[in-house]
Structure 1
Amino acid sequence: MTDHNLAAVNDVVKGGPAAPRDPVDKRSSFYLMFESIVEATARPDGRFSQEIYLEGRQFIDKVLFTGGVTDESILQLLTECTGFRRLVHSIGISVKAQDGDQASAWFAMENWGRTRKCETGTKLRIKVPTDGTEAILVLEEQEWSPDDDVPGKMAIEFDRQGALGTASIIFYLHDGYQVQAVEHESPVDYESDAYRALLAKSLLSEGNNDRLKAAIEKAKRGEDVTIAYIGGSITQGAGAKPINTESYAYRSYMQFKQMFGQVGRDHIHLIKAGVGGTPSELGIVRYDRDVLRDGAVKPDIVIIEFAVNDAGDETNGVCYESLALNALASDNRPAVILLFSVFMNDWNLQDRLSPVGTHYGLPMVSIKDAVVEQFSLRTDEGRIISKRQFFYDIYHPTNAGHRLMADCLAHLFAETDQAHPVSEDIIIDKPPIIGNDFVGTKLLDRNSSLEGLVTIEPGSFTATDADLQMAEMDDHPYGSPQFPNNWMHTGESGGESFRMTIRSRRLLLVYKDSGSSEFGRAEIWVDGLHTRDADPHEINWTHCTAVILYNEPVAREHTVEIMMASGQSDQKFTILGFGYVE
């Protein structure tokens, strides 16, 4: 592995004491990031960084919408390291730190290796000023690993968690390559009639307003009201800087407080329970712990956001409908709002999931309906916000995008407040539109009370994994480890199977994905039959995956055995927990 830690950037800093060896300003160029807000998040290696992942389609898609590059021959060169170096002459990095005490930052670049993805490729880490001066990294002057396969990620690093700045990353191209300059975009006019009309388009359905009006009236009386958000990385706040106060969840919670809170407004409370890269199949396992806080909280409003995550739900909507019903069935009659976010490619699962809202008369807000049609327009044709303004990357909104999402929810709140009340509650005791198999799912982990329900013999799965997926919950700026009460097999713990006997109708396994070569596959056996393999490298980053082990109409006793696959006993595997329906 090639790993460089350079104190200078090839001795080339535009505007600094050393003159560029090559007039990069005269080269054709395109941006990977342009004046994007970056935030230092704590990483497992002890660094604090904003990471930009490039694998798969992420590099190409980001260049498409940030850099405006549409030439397929150029985009194809970005798919592997040799092509990237053939195309790119040098990289310009500029960082403007929000904190004047932050004298410098670091730019990091990692290529994934052919032999071991995250370990054998080139790693560069170079110092850059934080006053906005552009530093230049000339690629041909670096030493590259012969094992480089594809560009993996880039990062802007700071010396402390939570540090904020504005960063641009520009690629200057070799002679012979030309790209078109990106057009200038006007700032979003949040006070315009056109913006208000855009918000109105997001209201897919007001639904039965009985429960939401009840929560609003409760807030107006000065009583305690809790708004809960559950979803994926967008609900977690990805793309928002800082993540804890600029996420759509926090912003819409604050808007609700401003609209309906009484003196002090401290009777309005927030629960934010978004976990990146996870579908409602995991959300249904997390609901009691992360939203209800194991029975300590009864939210008055629950906003569900899985419209861009549920491609990974193997039940194709059953877990989503079950999650909505789980929330609706609470004895305090919470309002449930379905929120449909959208990816940069204009995709979401609204067509699959919105029938759940229609079936139960739930309020629904569609970000897709609000923004996608106008994305294709020019400013003079009626575009209010562009894709570059709305999206931080191909998946997540910028601060402007998060603000728009919050404004769409606030529009629903305002419309509901003014609407004539519906006199009857929604009806949930009726046949489901997709399925309700997983209503009542409970989390089982190492801390659960097992008496009378479960017998566990951990075998060689006796360690506890502390290197876990992190998520910023509620209004916290720091990440909380997901599923810390787990069972981990290590290469030194032996070869015995994890065995569990449980009486239930349905069972989900939650296990850890990892990009580390130290992790290996496990075999899952149910009642003596090999049910499936669990491969932590299918996702290949530290992440939580939920899979169904069985789904039966009647509860009975089952035996579950988890063992390392053949030849994998010297590897690691982590069972994060289980979700079961009695």
Structure 2
Amino acid sequence: MSDPLSSADSRTAGSGPRAPKDPAERRNGFFVLFETHIEATARPSGKPSQEVYLEGSYLIDKARYIGGVEDMQILELLRTCEGFRTLVHSIGVSVKAEHNQGDITFLLQNWGKTDKYTSGTALRLPCPADGSELLIQLDQISGSADDDVPGKFAFEFDQAGGLAVASIIFYLNEGYAAPELSPETPVAFRSEPYHEMIPHSLLHPGNNVRLKAAIAKASRGEDVTIAYIGGSITQGAGAKPIHTECYAYQSYLGFKALFGKDGGGNVHFIKAGVGGTPSELGIIRYERDVLRDGAAKPDIVIVEFAVNDEGDETKGNCYESLCLNILSADNQPAVVLLFSVFINDWNLQERLSPVGIRYNLPMVSVKDAVTPQFKLTKAEGNVISKRQFFYDIYHPANDGHRVMADCLIHLFQQAAAAQADAEDIDLHQPPVIGNDFRNIRLLDRSSSLRNVQIEPGSFTGTDMDLQMVELDDNPSGTPEFPYNWMRPAEAGDEPFRLTLTSRSLILVYKDSGSTGFGSADVRVDGKPVLTADPHVNNWTHCNAVIVYHQETSGEHTVEITMADGDQDKCFTILGFGYC
């Protein structure tokens, strides 16, 4: 009797062919995402998703820093949809879900010429979640004549909080070639070279009186709060999941483990990072987002604006003023200045570190720790590559957030081990940049102030579509500036009128990618001072601009009306900061 396993007729459906075909030759290509952690975030409309924006230089930078592409011809072709199709033969997408996440859909959307967000081609395809590759061949997909530039990728999940690892590779048409990606070994976080790298982050140990007081307080079992204020990196951008893998939460856990009493339940956490915003906005929202309108008194505050403050109109005045506001609190909190870094090795450390020197504050520079070794090969002593450290050109990936956390933990350990300084810092000295915005206050629709008069005019609505921020250890977004004044489309021409006595006034208004929003003219005492354009950044975002800044205080009337040609559009005043 013959062996049934040798019979072709008895093969199961899952067995392979007797003579598999030779594999097709894989085209040359480059990655724009490589084993990148993604997380489904709830959206105002549509499915929870991880979005990856491509416009401007975003896609070019991904090709350069993730794919290793240096050919300028290839990089230039990525700027437009026409060039993209000339260059790219097919797109390979692979997603490996951590758990059973249900269906995952891959979206490729082009921005349109007629209407940026709606008239371009949007391609949605179901994507396997087991790590196998979805191959999208572009010549089998009809585009639109209205396609302008590549807009975004997105991974759509059934539920918010879904986690996966994703890679996207562009396979190239004949005539184009890119360097082959060499797989990297995981970062050796426990290695001696890693532990030698971290101490380079200690830019300045600073006066340790306040930091040691907080450590001692935690060790005694008393309640201690560590707070973080900054931009998108502090918010957790690039970390997956954002609320537990971000540097802020990881360094808080480190502090709690080192100094907390009986498991660290006495150590508390406040995180108040807002993406795309400088200290010019941070100083306005500090009382609400960190102090929680007086309900919280942090013992340690980490200030992280080193890659956001290029947008600070005061060039460091608001940064120094914010530090002084924190330091002047009755409970004498410690302030730690944290300098993060972009993928091009840039930050504003040179501008902002003199504030730390003036008041002898502890300063931690992630830039100083990682950028020298970025230039080395593994054989020469590279510990973590840029591809491993960064999620995109601005934000750290999980590995990068861990490095940042370890840099802060190193500071905490050094402060605990050091001999205590004899005296506290001296705040009674001239500022190194400026302190004009100390004691600034937030004014929004919830404020009730006797010396402020507000006539909303046509700005009677409340905008609910706001920038959402994951505060503290909450994975869900909290709206920024919910107590706002919105001028609905075609609501009338009555100006918003604010009369108050102040030395300085900062307007906070909503940026938007929607064409339904238009510009507004701002006048002070009848004179035009600026036009607030909600499309400066072109995404739902909080924008702060100085309306006036004077040496002495005086009464002023501010009027805001829609700009000529935009009377049929919306505009949202999120609030004001005034001194």
Matched, 1:358 2:389: no
Distance 1:16 1:131 in 2: 20
Letter in 1 for 2:569: Q
Letter in 2 for 1:518: G
Match of 1:537?
A: 535
Distance 2:470 2:25 in 1: 40
Q: Check the 8 A contact 1:243/1:477 in 2, yes or no.
A: yes
Match of 1:412?
A: 411
Distance 1:569 1:23 in 2: 62
Distance 2:545 2:54 in 1: 27
- Within a 5 Å distance, the mapping from 1:30-179 to structure 2 comes to 30-100=30-100, 102-179=101-178
Distance 1:67 1:129 in 2: 23
Match of 1:554?
A: 552
1:311-359 per-position Cα deviation (integer Å, ceiling 9, x unaligned): 0001000000011001000010000000000000000000000000000
Match of 2:468?
A: 470
Question: What secondary structure is seen at the aligned counterpart in 2 of 1:95?
Answer: strand
1:65-109 per-position Cα deviation (integer Å, ceiling 9, x unaligned): 111111111111001110001101111111111122x24201111
Distance 2:467 2:25 in 1: 41
Letter in 1 for 2:311: G
Matched, 1:279 2:281: no
Distance 2:480 2:254 in 1: 29
1:160-199 per-position Cα deviation (integer Å, ceiling 9, x unaligned): 1000011111111111211110222222111122111111
Q: Check the 8 A contact 2:510/2:542 in 1, yes or no.
A: yes
Distance 1:139 1:364 in 2: 50
Q: Check the 8 A contact 2:102/2:157 in 1, yes or no.
A: no
CA spacing shift, 1:123–1:207, aligned 2, 3 Å: same
Distance 1:30 1:527 in 2: 57
Provide the alpha-carbon RMSD of the alignment: 1.6
CA spacing shift, 1:24–1:368, aligned 2, 3 Å: farther
CA spacing shift, 1:16–1:129, aligned 2, 3 Å: farther
Distance 1:252 1:366 in 2: 15
Matched, 1:449 2:448: yes
Letter in 2 for 1:453: N
Distance 2:140 2:518 in 1: 37
CA spacing shift, 1:521–1:25, aligned 2, 3 Å: farther
Letter in 1 for 2:186: P
Letter in 1 for 2:36: S
Match of 1:9?
A: none
Identity of aligned residues (%): 62
Matched, 1:571 2:556: no
Distance 1:490 1:521 in 2: 13
Letter in 2 for 1:231: G
Match of 1:3?
A: none
CA spacing shift, 1:176–1:440, aligned 2, 3 Å: same
Distance 2:428 2:504 in 1: 21
Match of 2:490?
A: 492
Distance 2:521 2:114 in 1: 24
Letter in 2 for 1:135: L
Letter in 1 for 2:487: H
Match of 1:267?
A: 266
Q: CA shift at 1:16, angstroms? A: 13
Distance 1:183 1:96 in 2: 20
Q: Normalization by structure 1: what TM-score?
A: 0.95
Distance 2:547 2:180 in 1: 52
- Within a 5 Å distance, the mapping from 1:174-253 to structure 2 comes to 174-253=173-252
Letter in 2 for 1:551: H
Match of 2:3?
A: none
Q: Check the 8 A contact 1:103/1:129 in 2, yes or no.
A: no
Q: Check the 8 A contact 1:24/1:172 in 2, yes or no.
A: no
Distance 1:444 1:60 in 2: 41
Match of 2:381?
A: 382
Q: CA shift at 1:429, angstroms? A: 1.5
CA spacing shift, 1:24–1:335, aligned 2, 3 Å: farther
Distance 1:155 1:281 in 2: 32
Q: CA shift at 1:24, angstroms? A: 7.1
User: Which runs of at least 4 in structure 1 moved beyond 6 Å after TM superposition?
Assistant: none
Distance 2:375 2:516 in 1: 46
Q: Which runs of 5+ in 2 are unaligned?
A: 1-14
Distance 1:225 1:306 in 2: 24
Distance 1:224 1:98 in 2: 36
Q: Check the 8 A contact 1:227/1:300 in 2, yes or no.
A: yes
CA spacing shift, 1:317–1:272, aligned 2, 3 Å: same
Distance 2:169 2:60 in 1: 14
CA spacing shift, 1:24–1:115, aligned 2, 3 Å: farther
Question: What secondary structure is seen at the aligned counterpart in 2 of 1:495?
Answer: coil
- Give the counterpart of 2:513 among 512, 515, 529: 515
Q: Check the 8 A contact 2:257/2:263 in 1, yes or no.
A: no
Letter in 2 for 1:48: P
Question: What secondary structure is seen at the aligned counterpart in 2 of 1:67?
Answer: coil
Distance 2:487 2:267 in 1: 43
Distance 1:34 1:280 in 2: 33
Match of 2:7?
A: none
Question: What secondary structure is seen at the aligned counterpart in 2 of 1:160?
Answer: coil
Larger radius of gyration: 2
Question: What secondary structure is seen at the aligned counterpart in 1 of 2:379?
Answer: helix
Q: Check the 8 A contact 2:102/2:158 in 1, yes or no.
A: no
Q: CA shift at 1:25, angstroms? A: 5.2
Q: Check the 8 A contact 1:47/1:157 in 2, yes or no.
A: yes
1:506-538 per-position Cα deviation (integer Å, ceiling 9, x unaligned): 110000000111000100001111000000011
1:421-459 per-position Cα deviation (integer Å, ceiling 9, x unaligned): 001010112110000011111111100112x22111101
Question: What secondary structure is seen at the aligned counterpart in 1 of 2:556?
Answer: strand
Matched, 1:347 2:346: yes
Distance 1:361 1:120 in 2: 55
Q: CA shift at 1:492, angstroms? A: 3.1
Distance 1:453 1:293 in 2: 23
Letter in 2 for 1:206: P
Question: What secondary structure is seen at the aligned counterpart in 2 of 1:381?
Answer: coil
Letter in 2 for 1:99: H
1:481-515 per-position Cα deviation (integer Å, ceiling 9, x unaligned): 11111000111321111001011111100000001
Distance 1:488 1:116 in 2: 23
Q: Check the 8 A contact 1:523/1:534 in 2, yes or no.
A: yes
Letter in 2 for 1:530: P
1:349-382 per-position Cα deviation (integer Å, ceiling 9, x unaligned): 0000000000000000000000001101000101
Deviates more, 1:127-136 or 1:207-216: 127-136
Letter in 2 for 1:243: I
Distance 1:142 1:291 in 2: 50
Count residues with an aligned counterpart.
562
CA spacing shift, 1:260–1:527, aligned 2, 3 Å: same
